[in-house]
Amino acid sequence: MKRQTKAGSPVNRFTIKMQKKLLVLFLFILIAFVGLSVQMFLITRDNGEEYKKNVLSQQEYDSTTIPFKRGNIVDSNGTILAVSNKVYNVILDTKILMNDEANLEPTLNALRKCFSIDTNEVRTYIAEHPNSSYYVMARRVEYEKMNAFQEMAKDPENGKNIKGVWFEDEYKREYPNGSLACDVVGFTTNDNQGTYGLEEYYNDILSGTNGREYGYLNDDSNLERTTIPAVDGCNIQTSIDANLQSIVEKYLVDYNEEYKDSFRPGNGAENVGCIIMEVDTGRVLAMANYPAYDLNDVRNTDNLIGMPLVDEKGNRTGEAVTKEDIRGMNDEEIYRQLDSLWKNFCIVNAYEPGSVSKPFTVAAALESGAITGTESFNCEGGLQVADWPKPIKCHNKYGDGYLSVQEGIERSCNVVLMNVAFKLGKSEFVDYQHLFGFGLKTNIDLAGEARTASMVYNKNTMGMVELATNSFGQGYNSTMIQTMAAFCSLINGGYYYEPHVVDKITTADGATLENIEPRVLKQTVSRTTSDTIIEFCNTVVTGENGTGKTARPAGYMIGGKTGTAETIPRRNNEYVVSFFGYAPADDPQIAIYVVVDRPNVQYQDDAKFATRIVKKILTEALPYLNIFMTEELTDKEREELEELQIQIRMQDTATEEELDEEGNPIHPEGEGQEDGTGTEGDEEGAAEGESSEDRAQREVWKTFPLDPETGYLKDPATGDLFDPDTGAQINGGSVLGEEEPEEETGTGEGDTPAPPEGEAEE
């Protein structure tokens, strides 16, 4: 009989055999768990980062750069000269695109439609790089195109298979005014680095710091993102006035249009430069060169046509660049020409300044006490200097007779200036030349200013011939900015200001970081000497025999100094002509300096090529600068001003079809040229006590007939040409005489009257 429980069911026994089986099963499970734990530990230790990356890639994890925005460059009135606008790079993620082959054709069609991308190249890349996550298909596309693609991808029907394309932010440097102030502004390379001008000089200030967006897994393996924002670059406000700059550039273009291909193939001159500066601050209001270039298309070779062709050393060859030359150039040769175009003539090129430097010689002699300013010297057409075989010539071969120091400046007489320099002496002359800044950099805040220390004489190398030629601006070299800064000190009471182009630096949100105030570096001369120089230079424009009459704008009285310098090698009939002017004459506020390097004419030694440009610029610029007229207008001047106002209104209202390539209104030809003086010297009038025979001999040029081919008076006996208004010999040749000495003679202290060896260096 079986035993039963109280419930009436048999007793189940848990046998030992069953217990053993259960124990074995438990051990197997425990061992498996331990093994799995060990395996997971090993995987985490050895391959954890790899698996994390895989997880992140599946979650579209990325780490991207956030670009900074380069700071703006604006003019003194806030007009934008350079700005960075956001653009987008089109990026392809091949892995995402090819997750489904159905994505390929819709995506490629969208890329072709929105960005004109060559889809064959994209197909080739996908086939060769199936695992790529970053391929740039197009760079710097505008927002409108990017937005059109995104709208297409959002379309629920047509956009569902557009995959694997994303956009990378970038900034593109743009110059809204094209070529305006191109030599001042400079430009940037593709990697956002400044090149030339302000872009290079202030590159660190204009540049910001890139930001970064990171994606990462937290402790719970969840994807998180953190962003380090970009820091945008600072803005710079310049002293340049865009309106004044436009006026200057317009008349440099006009000059080129008038004289290009005139005597030889090429531009109207090898270089033409202009600087306008505030006399009492050193602020540069305008700075321009011709030829210029478009800052948005800096490698356009059309800008090279007509400019001087340079060799592999960067030296001019005497020929002009043609379309045929460009077609035959390799990349290196084209870049060499472009580099010559991009350089700022006003601060890079060194040249002999010529007679513009005569006021410096007189100022040094007055300041040192070597002269009183009341002396007179006899000009007989030249002056015999020790150790030189022939007299060093003046511009007037017949001589000017006895001239005071003031008349020497007015008529630009070399003989008077040589005598003044001899009274000053070599040592004092060199000291003052250094004080005026010649041979030294001005440290203007533009990239590329030339070093000219090797192009001036010192006390050990200057001889009497060098002293003579240096006195009237030949035998040493300077740059336009050196001459401008020094001359301003002569007419502002003697204060030498460091020239500068930037007035203010601000943050991206407009907060002012730095105001750049005018900086006086030294005093070159006393107020008394400065006033005397102003008095002397005023007669250059207002005097009966002044050489700068053609620079005077209607209704204004200005002062200044003409300059004509023979280039090296001597007797090549090539000259640099110039005019430095200031207004108003009695209280100089602004100064203007125009240099025309080798005018494209047969007879280049005529300062009117520079004075006429100055007159045109000042006629329009002075009213704009609120400098009011002080002189009564003649009927002819009134007509000229009315014609100018009509031209300006035409430029403001003309349609594109009515403008020429330079943006000037098309109008009938036949506009006349100014009459008047402008060459170096004028023979009207004679010294007191001069005999009638002597005067007749000096003014014999007045009896010469007018040569219709050249417009100058021509000596029937010699063929020499003379300006009909001033009597200055136009084709006068070298001031040193027609022949070089067979042997060098002299002091042994340097007796070749040419600049010392060495070239200007940046």
Give the pair of three-digit tokens for residue 439: 């041979």
H or E stretch at 506: strand 502-506
**Surface-to-core class of residue 699, CB atoms within 10 Å of its CB (0-12 exposed, 13-18 middle, 19+ buried):** middle
> Do the beta carbons of residue 57 and residue 114 sit within 8 Å?
no
DSSP three-state, residue 45:
helix
What is the pairing mode between strands 308-310 and 559-566?
unpaired
Give the gyration radius of the chain's Cα atoms: 38
**pLDDT value of position 488:** 98
What are the tens digits of pLDDT across the range 103-112? 888 888 888 8
**pLDDT value of position 641:** 82
Q: Within 13 A of 446's CA, how many CA atoms are on the CB side?
A: 33
Q: What is the C-alpha separation between 692 and 99, in angstroms, rounded?
A: 106
Cis status, amide bond into 389, omega within 30 of 0: no
pTM, 2 dp: 0.82
Q: Which residues contact 385 (CB under 8 A, 6 or more apart)?
A: 391, 392, 418, 464, 465, 468
CB atoms within 10 A of CB 144: 8
Hunting for tokens 């069911």 — which residue is that? 9
Hunting for tokens 């193939």 — which residue is that? 265
**pLDDT value of position 733:** 63
**pLDDT value of position 399:** 86
H or E stretch at 530: helix 527-542
Q: What is the C-alpha separation between 169 and 213, in angstroms, rounded?
A: 12
Hunting for tokens 């990325």 — which residue is that? 62
**Surface-to-core class of residue 369, CB atoms within 10 Å of its CB (0-12 exposed, 13-18 middle, 19+ buried):** exposed
Q: What is the C-alpha separation between 422 and 464, in angstroms, rounded?
A: 8
Q: What is the C-alpha separation between 732 and 720, in angstroms, rounded?
A: 8
Q: Within 13 A of 64's CA, how many CA atoms are on the CB side?
A: 16
Which stretches of the chain score pLDDT less than 70? 1-14, 44-63, 215-224, 651-699, 701, 723-727, 731-733, 737-762
DSSP three-state, residue 388:
coil
Backbone phi and psi for residue 748, each to the nearest 5 degrees, phi listed first: 80, 5
H or E stretch at 257: helix 242-259
> Do the beta carbons of residue 750 and residue 464 sit within 8 Å?
no
Q: What is the C-alpha separation between 316 and 748, in angstroms, rounded?
A: 32
Nearest of 247, 341, 346, 336 to residue 287 by alpha carbon: 346
Q: What is the C-alpha separation between 459 and 430, in angstroms, rounded?
A: 6
Q: Would residue 728 be called left, alpha or beta, if left means φ above 0 and alpha means ψ between -120 and 50 degrees?
A: beta
Q: What is the DSSP string of 85-146?
A: EEEEEEEE-HHHHTTSGGGHHHHHHHHHHHH---HHHHHHHHHH-TT-S-EEEEEEE-HHHH
**pLDDT value of position 566:** 86
The sign of the CA dihedral 293, 294, 297, 303 is negative
**pLDDT value of position 70:** 95
CA 183 from centroid of its chain's CA atoms: 2
All structural domains of the chain: 64-238 (3.90.1310.10), 302-337 (no CATH), 347-722 (3.40.710.10)
Q: What is the DSSP string of 185-247?
A: H-EE-TTS-EESHHHHHTHHHH--B-EEEEEEE-TTS-EEEEEE--BPPPEEEES--HHHHHH
Rounded to a whole number of angstroms, the distance between the first and last alpha carbons of the chain is: 124
**Surface-to-core class of residue 472, CB atoms within 10 Å of its CB (0-12 exposed, 13-18 middle, 19+ buried):** buried
> Do the beta carbons of residue 558 and residue 541 sit within 8 Å?
yes
Hunting for tokens 């003539």 — which residue is that? 345
> Do the beta carbons of residue 74 and residue 238 sit within 8 Å?
yes
Give the pair of three-digit tokens for residue 714: 């021509």
Give the pair of three-digit tokens for residue 693: 């025979």
H or E stretch at 593: strand 590-599
**pLDDT value of position 667:** 41
Give the pair of three-digit tokens for residue 594: 């125009």
